[in-house]
A and B are shown apart, each in its own frame.
Chain A
Amino acid sequence: MSDTNTGMVEKYRNNFLKEVEANVEEGEWVKMCMQCGVCSGSCPLGPHWDHPPQELFMMIRAGKRDEVLESTSMWMCTSCYNCIVRCPRELPITHIMHGLAHYATRLGIEPKNQPTRKFAQLFWNNLAKNGRVNELWLGVNLYFMDGFVNGIKVALGMAGIGLGMLKAKRLSLKELVGGHTVKDKKGFQAMIKKAQELEAARVDN
């Protein structure tokens, strides 16, 4: 358990709802859920979630801290926004799902092997480097996400498509070295750094 996590447990004791309200993006909306279940019914991936949004909200109110934050459920969200559109109480459910996932990551108790989580991290790392997504590297990293042997298997399986894309000039091997960047890479990185400082300052309060 990370230090932040222990600190939070100490700070909010049994009142997980208050913790969520204070720390999770749009968390102050959780109390407004009226348990109609429309979000759960609207979610295209709903049947694959351990706990659909409505249930997550109830678990938060019931103080089930670990079960919520360690859950893979909110990582299943594909941001289709069906739930937001349909929620009669107008809860920004998609944002709350991302907020919960982000908060769990901050605390370091997120489910490490959840594929969406892994992909999100790869995407961020890739993007934050040059300010542009290097699709070739993103693809390669993704193939080898679950280890070298598996990566080879996946890569071979995708070889046909890869060659096709090369032929059609949709993919360039030059990207393997360096790759294209934003014009002002330094400025971009300074900007990210500043944003991270601001975020850290906000979170610590």
Chain B
Amino acid sequence: MADEMKIGAYICNGCGIGDRLDSGQLETTATRDGKAQVCQQHDFLCSEAGVKMIQDDIDNEGVNRVVIAACSRRAKTEAFNFENVSIHRANLREGVIWVRPDTDEMTETTQEMADDYIRMACAEAKYTKIPEKSGEQGVNKNILIVGGGVAGMKAALEASKAGYPCAIVEKSGALGGATAQLYKTIPTKAPYTDPQDNFVDEMVAAVEADSNITVYLNSTTTNIAGAPGRFAADISAESGSTETKEFGAIVQASGFKPYDASKLPEFAYGKNKDVVTQMELEVLAKAADGGAIKRPSDGKEVSSVLFIQCAGQRSKKEGHLEHCSGYCCSASIKQAMYFKDQNPAIDTTVLYTDLRTPGAGGENFYRSGQQKGVIFTKGIASEVVDGSNPTVKFKDLILDEENDLEVDMVVLATGMVPNSGQPTRAELTDQDNEDAASEKAGEEVEIRVDVESILNLDYRQGKDVPHMANGFADSHFICFPYETQRTGIYTAGPTRRPMDSYQAMEDAVGAAMRAISEAENAGLGKAAHPRVGDLSFPSFRKEGCTQCKRCTVECPFGAINEDEEGYPIYNESRCRRCGTCMGACPVRVISFENYSVDTVGQQLKAVDIPDEFEEKPRFLVLACENDAYPALDMAAQNKLEYSAFTRVIPVRCLGSTSLSWITDSLNSGFDGIILMGCPSGDNYQCHFVKGSLMAQERMSKVGDTLETLNLEKERVQTFEISITDIHKVPQIINDMAETIEQIGMSPFKF
């Protein structure tokens, strides 16, 4: 690659661009203002001939910054994919001609729009370096699997089959987890009518026979340091010995704990021996082994049994679980069949409020239960009255009346509590946060929680992966299941969300696949989603750093550690390249080679700002590239118009927005600024978890800046845009245009 920077600008005249815009003028802009050394036009740039024209210039002319003035950066990415150069897109189609009416009086402003986008793309090109991989880590094909239940074993078997050696670390003395305790499992094959023999033994045998899988029983991970591609895990056995091994990626399949039924005194659990949980019934069924199931109190053969669904679940009561555990309905049907299959005369009643049998065969299994004579009653149990036979009081929701039923035995369908380890620092309670606040004063405090950590990550933000709703280690990444907020660590099974063993195994396949791809990606120095393949990574100018720790705190992925002196350590392969650290840095020393304060800052400075007498305001839109920018593109595809005074710059995440961009653009004469990020909150949509939230918080302080500049606060507005807000985005821009008309042009024009 040539050391010297050479910008080549290529203007497409296809898709109506040539008809609507003066391409000669665009070429002049690119060469004169944009300082492009090479500039060519083509009638059909994304055609084979057009692409070849560019490739020839790269090969023969030494062009290494390619400015493509054509369609949106989201279109034709396969055609415009050149190696070893940086690519910059001036969005003349979706960004200009499709959002402007084709009338004579509009030609001038439309042309100005296009000219500006070319200047901006050239400015970005000028300040971009071409990223190269850091070589911080090589390919490490070893996969660490934490948890030896069915999910962990399945992940190991699948990864091993794909040629990746695995290590399973299991806390207990045997593989199999919760599923091993079951007498039979719910059916996984058509016709889904009968409980199925437990398959765990076969799985354990397969794992033990696999030379690619190492099993550590009675062991835990006591420390995990490093990053994807170079995780160093301390595997400590109960006996005290510790072994440190290197891994490329991690699958966490730590499963669940059964909900503590002693929190349900209203159902006489603990008081009446014949009130048992589903897990306890499995033990009884195993003991009976196909014979009559005997109740615990007096060993009498059970002749009537009632299952209370959602016991301590789906309830907002103190100490109850808010979620549906997803497996208990099918489990109760299965357990009712234990009785019915042995003796059809046994009365089995399932008391449910909403029967949910997820999975392909769930409905068939429910139907089979009905065929076998299991009675399903829609009602809510209020109390179990203790007695020689427990009596269940319930409200029948169909007949709308109070009822009771005396039975030999009551089974409580209590749910699952995820084994997801400790909360992260960010998730701690107020008290803990106060402690954390005192830590900011320089005093280091331990995180005080009564839960044992599973992974024991040596990460600044906490020892385990962050939890979402109800303590599950899911990420809520809408498009990326298994993904956690810690790159290279993938959760599978009930630690991620409530599910049965069959779903957990499916989950494990996905997580294993993600772990494999991350191990490979990290080896190549490439980013994981959503900027898959991005080679750039954050670096900082050490002499400018004030050790304020803001970047380490605000990184949504816990990628940044600190060295002894308090300087950040970036751990390239943990990074998702969102740039939230860059937006956080008050002294602007953090940058990426292809994304920095300058690559955006110089773009907005490249915009031609007419003086105030021309009555042509300028609005800057900083749009999140994941949601807002596609929404703008789609608005254009729908030919929704917005103001010609708009200049849109995509940002990786609104969290990467530097306050300097705001002040710089106001100083250079922009009349209004619109920030478009993803919806935030519990069901966030932000691809970088909390980028838009951080941006909002930072922008809430922009009011002061505006005040010192003597500007109206309406000039800077932040919006939450989801990808479907196609009709909302042009409206927001046009509203801003109206607002500016009312409050007047910026006084900062020259």
Contact = CB atoms under 8 A, between A and B. Distances in A.
A146 B431 CA distance: 80
Given A58-B396, A59-B399, A62-B396, A34 B376 contact: yes
B371 interface: yes
Interface string B339-367: 00000000000000001000000000011
Contacts of A61: 375, 377
Contact of A17 (B367, B371, B375, B399): B375
Given A35-B376, A54-B398, A55-B398, A62 B367 contact: no
Contacts of B367: 32, 89
Contacts of B399: 55, 58-59, 62, 64
Interface string B395-425: 0101100010000000000000000000000
Interface string B367-411: 100110101111000000000000000001011000100000000
A151 B355 CA distance: 53
Nearest to B349: A61
A118 interface: no
Nearest to B377: A61
Contact of A31 (B355, B373, B398): B373
Interface residues of A, number: 13
Contacts of B396: 58, 62
Given A54-B398, A58-B378, A61-B375, A31 B370 contact: yes
Interface in B693-745: none
A59 B400 CA distance: 11
A24 B366 CA distance: 24
Interface string B99-136: 00000000000000000000000000000000000000
Interface in A59-95: 59, 61-62, 64, 89
A70 B569 CA distance: 81
Interface in A17-70: 17, 31-32, 34-35, 54-55, 58-59, 61-62, 64
Most buried by B among A59, A61, A64: A61
Nearest to A28: B371
Contacts of B378: 35, 58
Given A35-B378, A54-B398, A62 B403 contact: yes
Nearest to B405: A62
B403 A34 contact: no
Contacts, number: 32
B466 to A, nearest CB: 39
Nearest to A33: B370
A22 to B, nearest CB: 13
A89 B368 CA distance: 12
B388 to A, nearest CB: 20
B330 to A, nearest CB: 14
Contact of B377 (A55, A62, A64, A89): A62
A121 to B, nearest CB: 31
Contacts of A64: 399
Nearest to B375: A61
Interface residues of B, number: 14
Contacts of B377: 58, 61-62
A143 to B, nearest CB: 39
A51 to B, nearest CB: 9
A35 B366 CA distance: 13
Interface in B598-616: none
Contacts of A32: 367, 370-371
A151 to B, nearest CB: 40
Contacts of B371: 31-32
Given A58-B396, A58-B399, A62-B403, A31 B375 contact: yes
Nearest to B372: A31
A61 B377 CA distance: 8
Contacts of B366: 34
A57 to B, nearest CB: 9
Interface string B680-696: 00000000000000000
Contacts of A55: 398-399
A84 to B, nearest CB: 17
A19 B370 CA distance: 16
Nearest to B374: A31
A17 B377 CA distance: 13
A58 B367 CA distance: 16
Interface in B490-528: none
A97 to B, nearest CB: 17
Given A55-B398, A55-B399, A58-B398, A34 B375 contact: no
Nearest to A31: B370
Nearest to B397: A35
Nearest to A64: B399
A34 B371 CA distance: 12
Interface in B13-30: none
A64 B403 CA distance: 12
A25 B624 CA distance: 64
A62 B375 CA distance: 9
Most buried by A among B367, B375, B398: B398
Interface in B152-173: none
Contacts of A54: 398
A43 B197 CA distance: 44
A167 to B, nearest CB: 54
A58 B379 CA distance: 11
A62 B404 CA distance: 11
Contacts of A89: 367
A198 to B, nearest CB: 29
B357 to A, nearest CB: 10
Contacts of B355: 34
B396 to A, nearest CB: 7
A94 to B, nearest CB: 20
A62 B402 CA distance: 12
Nearest to B367: A32
B131 to A, nearest CB: 56
B402 to A, nearest CB: 12
A17 B344 CA distance: 14
Nearest to B401: A62
Contacts of A35: 376, 378, 398
Contacts of B403: 62
Contacts of A17: 375
Nearest to A32: B370
Contacts of B373: 31
B376 to A, nearest CB: 7
A150 to B, nearest CB: 37
A16 to B, nearest CB: 12
A36 to B, nearest CB: 10
Contacts of B376: 34-35
Nearest to B347: A15
A146 B371 CA distance: 45
A106 B296 CA distance: 46
A108 to B, nearest CB: 26
Contacts of A58: 377-378, 396, 398-399
Interface string B297-337: 00000000000000000000000000000000000000000
Nearest to A59: B399
B672 to A, nearest CB: 52
Contacts of B375: 17, 31, 61
Contacts of A31: 370-371, 373, 375
A115 to B, nearest CB: 27
A103 to B, nearest CB: 20
Contacts of A59: 399
11 contacts: A31-B371, A32-B367, A32-B371, A34-B366, A34-B370, A54-B398, A55-B399, A59-B399, A62-B396, A62-B399, A64-B399
Given A32-B370, A54-B398, A62-B399, 9 more contacts: A31-B375, A34-B355, A35-B378, A55-B398, A58-B399, A59-B399, A61-B375, A61-B377, A62-B403
Interface of B: 355, 366-367, 370-371, 373, 375-378, 396, 398-399, 403
In order of increasing CB-CB distance, the 4 nearest A-B pairs are A58-B398, A32-B370, A31-B370, A35-B378
